[in-house]
Amino acid sequence: GAANIPGELRCYSIRVSKCRQCVQGGDTMGSIAVQHKTDWLHLYHANPSLPGLNPSHLKSGHTLRLGVSYNTRWGDDLERISQRFLVSQSSLEDQNPELVAPTAVTYFPDALGAHTQVTLAMRARRRVMEGENITVTLPGVEGQDWDGLVSEKCDMPVSTLQLRAYCSPRTHAVNDACGPGLWGRCTYDTSGVMGCRTHECNDQGLHPFLAGASWDRVTTSLVLVVGADIEAGHEVRVVVSQSAGLKMPTSSKAPTAVHARVPVPEMLWDPVAEEMVPMKLCVVLPVCQSGIECIYGSDCHLRSDTVAQ
């Protein structure tokens, strides 16, 4: 028979240009501008070298430039850059996916108003360096300002406590939230008696990537302090135990999918070149509004004749 040839695993890196879109059949500058929440005139002036440029008739396969390229500076953040160019922070995130990390969020228990254990699973799209912070905003989640340690997992409880006074078969069902702060779940023990089971997370503080965390009650944000480099695409799991005091919203659902924000760096790790390179943001300029002058390739600014004397 044929000899067995072991499989060969190969990894490829593909470089994709920012601020570019490949024109598809039926595209116009107007339709592409709507996709990116800008004005077709910005696209028109951004592509002077495109052959036979007609805003209503673009040739399929041509590459259209979408915005300006901005080299970040030390101290930049999303708020400062959005104010400089008069664009929304969400627009910057849409055009620069390495600024966010898609994050799945689960809660236990997930009853309204309950103290809850929060579990995050996130994947950053760039290497996040030791010493940087990752910010996860959880609208509606409540809790006092807190800082401490977080875990990577919570597979088994450190301890369980049966609080029989909090659960009764006449008023509760299995898995109903129960106990002080609704931390536990109603369940039956081995003798068939219903009680409230509560537990704390194990491995508290033994996280391979995070040195600590804090909760800001005003912004309802969890700030994670990176203690070791996190490679792009690596899934990081984070468990914030119930002892941190976070509570589910009392009148609405807590988010189960959010975009965690990573800092805006001055330099960025390039896995293809295997070196640090300047961070370049794609900025799609906004639709010009009354009193605002937007010049392609420069900052938007207030017109002088609209400035109060």
In tens, the pLDDT along 245-269 reads 898 898 888 999 999 999 998 888 7
Residues forming a β-bridge with 267: 278
Through-space distance between the first and last CA atoms of the chain, rounded to whole angstroms? 91
Using CA atoms, how far residue 291 sits from 78, 222, 223, 300, in Å, is 24, 38, 38, 11
Closest CA to 177 of 107, 118, 243: 107
pLDDT at 289: 55
Torsion angle of C-alpha atoms 240, 269, 35, 14, degrees rounded to 10: -120
Report which listed range, 57-66, 195-204, 220-229, 272-281, is most confident. Answer: 220-229
For residues 183-200, give the mean pLDDT: 79
Cis ω for the linkage preceding 109 (within 30 of 0): yes
Measured CA to CA, the distance from residue 116 to residue 141 in angstroms comes to 10
Measured CA to CA, the distance from residue 151 to residue 270 in angstroms comes to 30
The overall average pLDDT reported for the chain is: 81
pLDDT at 102: 95
pLDDT at 245: 83
Number of other residues whose CB lies within 10 A of the CB of residue 70: 19
Give tens-digit pLDDT for 87-111: 888 889 988 988 999 999 999 878 7
pLDDT at 176: 87
Percent of the chain with pLDDT over 90: 25
For 267, the token pair is 């330099």
pLDDT at 305: 45
Residue 135 neighbours by CB under 8 Å, 6+ apart: 221, 222, 223, 224, 260, 261
Give tens-digit pLDDT for 5-30: 567 777 766 677 788 888 888 888 88
Is a pLDDT exceeding 60 seen at residue 288?
no
Residues forming a β-bridge with 302: 292
Measured CA to CA, the distance from residue 88 to residue 289 in angstroms comes to 14
Measured CA to CA, the distance from residue 63 to residue 66 in angstroms comes to 9
Give tens-digit pLDDT for 33-47: 888 888 788 788 778
Question: Which pLDDT band holds residue 1 (cuts at 50, 70, 90)?
Answer: very low
187: Cα separation from own chain's centroid: 36
Cα angle value 266/269/272 (rounded, 5°): 140
Give tens-digit pLDDT for 64-92: 888 888 889 888 888 999 888 888 888 89
pLDDT at 173: 93
